[in-house]
Amino acid sequence: MKKALVIGSLNMDMTAKVEKLPKLGETIFSNEFYESCGGKGANQAVAIAKLGMNTTMIGMVGNDFQGEKLIENLIKHNVKADNIIKSDELTGRAVITVDKNGNNNIIVIPGSNFKITKEHIQNKEKIIFESDIVILQNEIPIDVVEFSLKKAKELNKITIFNPAPATELSSIIYENTDYLILNETETEEIFGININDKVYIGKIFHKKKEHNIKNIILTLGEKGSILFDKDDSVRKYDAYEVNAVDTTAAGDSFIGAFALKICETNNPDIAIKYATAVSAIVVTRQGAQDSIPTVEEIEKFMELNS
């Protein structure tokens, strides 16, 4: 069986549901509040594991109740969690606001996620060696991301990087990432390209060439996604029409499902179509990790919507 390794964040999500997202300086009421296990890294690891792939996670939590709960939740979803490191820093948290249409904004308090170091990853080199694909996000220190991607490529692994939250990226990241997966906000922050620009596709293509990026996948929510592949072709993929309730884990579930299928098939078309179905189901449910569907649910959804 193929093996996936996720190196990334674990957060306790605190979500408030509201009619509309607040304006600057505005105070509003929430009609529902709940806590759930999250973190982009953990969400992606759970997605991959729930879809049936052997999955290990490397990350850091605090030596506190929240950290224990996050580890327990990984184990519950069949993610190997014995490489989660404990820190004296508090476990990471995310404060999430979700409106009636499922749109959200998120504030991340990194906590222990920012205490993981390159040395921690170096000590786990054997796990990277034993994996087929390595997935990272941007909720851990950027030097750890760079080191991990470079190490994974030295060991000839498939690499995926999701630059969320968005920040300036180095040539080390571009050169050692097989699939750069980002949304419209991250595209604007990193490349300075607004997708409302009529020629945004051409501009992204130019950035891909400029930075020698192998593959870019741009996710556009209800507008679908676009692949800029290593052979310099550009392909669009439609989204499914669903009633969104909470989009918090849409991107993470897409990445997890894509990682599974690209590892199984080495075919980005198949992988993107599968990932699109998974994220479509996820947005119809509340929460992050608990919203990720089973293989049977995905197969049924794709059959009904074919």
| Residues recognised as catalytic | 252
What is the three-class DSSP state of 89?
coil
Phi, psi dihedrals of residue 236, rounded to the nearest 5°: -105, 145
Partners of 56 in the β-ladder = 5, 80
Cα(283)–Cα(272) distance, integer angstroms? 17
Partners of 15 in the β-ladder = 34, 96
Q: What does the buried/exposed string (b/e) look like for 115-142 if buried means 16 or more CB atoms within 10 Å of the residue's CB?
A: bbbeebbeebeebbeebbbbbbbbbbbe
∠ Cα 282 287 290 (to 5°):
70
Of 182, 256, 289, 196, give the one whose Cα is nearest residue 226. Answer: 182
- Helix residue ranges, H only, 53-163: 65-76, 118-122, 125-130, 142-154
CB-side exposure of 4: number of CA atoms within 13 Å? Answer: 31
Tokens of 139: 């909720």
Name the amino acid, one letter, at 135: I
CB-side exposure of 129: number of CA atoms within 13 Å? Answer: 5
